Amino acid sequence: MNEKIFDIAIVGAGVVGASIARKLSSYNLKVALLEKECDVSFGVSKANSGIIHGGFHHGSEYLKSKLEVQGNRMFDQLEQELHFPFRRCGIIVAAFSVEEMKTVEQLYMNGINNKVIGIEICNRSRILALEPKLNEDVAGGLYAPAGGIIEPYRFVFSLVESALKNGVNLFTEFKVVSAEHNTDGYTIISENGNSIKSKWIVNASGLFADEISKIFDAEIFKITPRKGEEFLLDRNSAARTDHVIFPVPDHISKGILVIPTVEGTTMLGPTAIPQESKEDVSTTSANLGMVFSSARRMVPSISQRDIITSFTGLRPVLEGGDFFIDISNKQVHFIQVAGIQSPGLTAVPAIAEYVKDLLKKDGLILTEKSSYDPTIEKLPRIRTLHPEEADTLIQSDPAYGEIVCRCESVSEAEIVAAVRNGHTTLDGIKFYTRAQMGRCQGGFCTDRIIKIIQRETGLSFEAITKRGKASWLLEDRIGDLIVNSYGGAE
Ligand SMILES: Cc1cc2nc3c(=O)[nH]c(=O)nc-3n(C[C@H](O)[C@H](O)[C@H](O)COP(=O)(O)OP(=O)(O)OC[C@H]3O[C@@H](n4cnc5c(N)ncnc54)[C@H](O)[C@@H]3O)c2cc1C
């Protein structure tokens, strides 16, 4: 058994754990980031709407409102340091009746009480001038210019890269299954028999925060997954709006949205259906119909013909609906970061600050690290370059001229960079580069990506997976047949 000793172990490398790890990496501390999957951001943080929310959906009595507004304001600096795709496109809530306009007024008051800047109630002509693709029957609405869009997985990858650069230790395939506590601190044991020691624990395990809390003999609570199905439209869809469009919300969810993603596609969703399973991420044609009719009520030009794919994310919902971020009352040196449903992605930079303050309150000594560097290298993305810039880059590295994914214009050099940054599954590469995310969903580029993974890592064809564990591409004899057709990988 290979045992290592840390000041803090963070369980879960989603956006919450990654953000806390990066924050703590600016102090003289030994930090471990533990993740059960083979890569980071493979949990809730990979399957969401990617919205940086506007801070008006909930009242100021909620911790999540306070952290949402603070977090929103921190994204400009984070983007400069970490270079993830982010744009403040603004959010619109579209109302279709006098009754709905009353709810808009409440949302506006939430925004004012939460100290949101620039929020505005709009009449019909103002809202249509802002967003001409809205249904002409719109009565008016709310405009929140500080709302934005982000590529969520790329954000997590950048946070982790920054944390690692500043000394955090990442342990993937480390599924925490048991823990012991004695005077030295905790011994944390993984499913595959590894262990580490740590004085403090931060529970940032998303959907599984209730199970981790139980393993450490801390608070008993229940996380109920709330299913959110999303449908993605092609980047050429004529229905793409300039702003994120929300309906007037009900008491359960923010409703079905029209989201112009930061990378150029349009997303419709999410549904909000409670379920028991933490694994069921199926999508259904019944919900497809419901999502499209709700979205078309706001933007009539939306067409089902533009769908390229669908996916499901599960919100980790705690009774009461607020975030539970606190020092445990039951277990020493244990910080709970649970129930981080929406607006978790937005709030996360503020969550990291909040957790840092809780750790300090709990006795952790924080001294700033003189060598801390908040920036990471900005890697070129060929599709974002001007043709002359692209030419210069290709001359210095011809692999930027080899386009592997034609739908999303991803070059071989970008795939190689993903692999060299530790993303060696098909999904890891997809989330890092966007290769396989376009109209053909990997139909043309998957075999080329597999060959690049093999070349870079020496992995056999059979060892390559979609997303780790048993998600091999091929099995048994069928595998042998197809392996041969790919040019005899083994
Ligand atoms: C459909 C949908 C849409 C959303 N849209 C938005 C949005 O637009 N804007 C917004 O602000 N928020 C949004 N959210 C919320 C946001 O996605 C979440 O708040 C956020 O991703 C939660 O991050 P997390 O790190 O807590 O969870 P996760 O990303 O799930 O991370 C937890 C990690 O812990 C790991 N883990 C679990 N158990 C163990 C164990 N035993 N050992 C080791 N590791 C373990 C998991 O594998 C996982 O990687 C949305 C959520 C959903 C589902």
Express each pLDDT in 381-402 by its tens digit. Answer: 999 999 999 999 999 999 999 9
On whether both 129 and 238 belong to a single domain, the answer is yes
CA distance 394 to 71: 38
Answer whether residue 212 is part of any domain: yes
Which domain range does residue 417 map to? 382-485
Interval between CA 48 and ligand 1 midpoint (Å): 8
Ramachandran region, residue 182 (left: φ > 0; alpha: ψ -120 to 50; beta: rest): beta
> How confident is the model over 367-377, as pLDDT tens digits?
999 999 999 99
What is the tally of structural domains in the chain?
3
Using the predicted structure, report yes or no on whether residue 1 has a pLDDT greater than 50.
Answer: no
On whether both 239 and 307 belong to a single domain, the answer is yes
What pLDDT is attached to residue 469? Answer: 85
Using the predicted structure, report yes or no on whether residue 229 has a pLDDT greater than 80.
Answer: yes
| Amino acid present at 246 | F
What pLDDT is attached to residue 253? Answer: 81
What pLDDT is attached to residue 477? Answer: 38
What pLDDT is attached to residue 251? Answer: 77
On whether both 192 and 45 belong to a single domain, the answer is yes
Residue 3: pLDDT band with limits 50, 70, 90: low
Go through the chain and tell me how many residues it has.
490
Answer whether residue 490 is part of any domain: no
Interval between CA 14 and ligand 1 midpoint (Å): 6
Answer whether residue 111 is part of any domain: yes
> Contact 224/207 with Cβ under 8 angstroms?
no
Answer whether residue 358 is part of any domain: yes
Q: Domain ends where: 314, 335, 352?
A: 314
On whether both 187 and 303 belong to a single domain, the answer is no
Ligand 1 closest atom vs CA 174: 43
On whether both 77 and 171 belong to a single domain, the answer is yes
Question: Which CATH number does the domain housing residue 180 bear?
Answer: 3.50.50.60
Answer whether residue 161 is part of any domain: yes
Name residues contacting ligand 1 (CB within 6 A).
Answer: 11-17, 34-37, 42-45, 48-51, 53, 174-176, 204-208, 212, 228, 270, 313-315, 340-346
Ligand 1 closest atom vs CA 205: 34
Interval between CA 153 and ligand 1 midpoint (Å): 11
Pocket test of ligand 1: the residue of 194, 345, 355, 467 to mutate, having most ligand atoms within 8 Å of its CB, is 345
> How confident is the model over 45-83, as pLDDT tens digits?
999 999 999 999 999 999 999 999 999 999 999 999 999
Q: What are the phi and psi torsion angles at 424 (to 5°)?
A: -110, 10
Nearest Cα neighbor of 203 from 6, 372, 339 is 339
On whether both 271 and 395 belong to a single domain, the answer is no
First to last CA, the chain: 32
Interval between CA 42 and ligand 1 midpoint (Å): 9
> How confident is the model over 254-309, as pLDDT tens digits?
999 999 999 999 999 999 999 999 999 998 888 999 999 999 999 999 999 999 99
- By mean pLDDT, which of 152-166, 382-396, 415-429, 476-490 is the weakest? 476-490
> Contact 337/19 with Cβ under 8 angstroms?
no
Residue 486: pLDDT band with limits 50, 70, 90: very low
The rounded mean pLDDT for the chain is 94
Indicate the burial class of 367 (C-beta count within 10 angstroms; 0-12, 13-18, 19 or more): exposed
Question: Which CATH number does the domain housing residue 265 bear?
Answer: 3.30.9.10
- By mean pLDDT, which of 150-159, 246-255, 351-360, 453-462 is the weakest? 246-255
What pLDDT is attached to residue 286? Answer: 87
What pLDDT is attached to residue 68? Answer: 98
pLDDT (mean) for 445-464: 94
On whether both 78 and 165 belong to a single domain, the answer is yes
What pLDDT is attached to residue 224? Answer: 97
Residue 475: pLDDT band with limits 50, 70, 90: low
| Amino acid present at 474 | L
On whether both 135 and 106 belong to a single domain, the answer is yes
Using the predicted structure, report yes or no on whether residue 89 has a pLDDT greater than 90.
Answer: yes
> How confident is the model over 183-193, as pLDDT tens digits?
989 999 999 99
Positive or negative, the CA dihedral 161, 167, 173, 176 is negative
- By mean pLDDT, which of 140-149, 279-288, 333-342, 465-474 is the weakest? 465-474
On whether both 32 and 47 belong to a single domain, the answer is yes
On whether both 154 and 94 belong to a single domain, the answer is no
Return the ∠ at Cα 423 (arms to 450 and 192), rounded to 5°.
105
On whether both 326 and 421 belong to a single domain, the answer is no
On whether both 338 and 465 belong to a single domain, the answer is no
Ligand 1 closest atom vs CA 37: 47
What pLDDT is attached to residue 483? Answer: 44
Residues classed as catalytic: 53
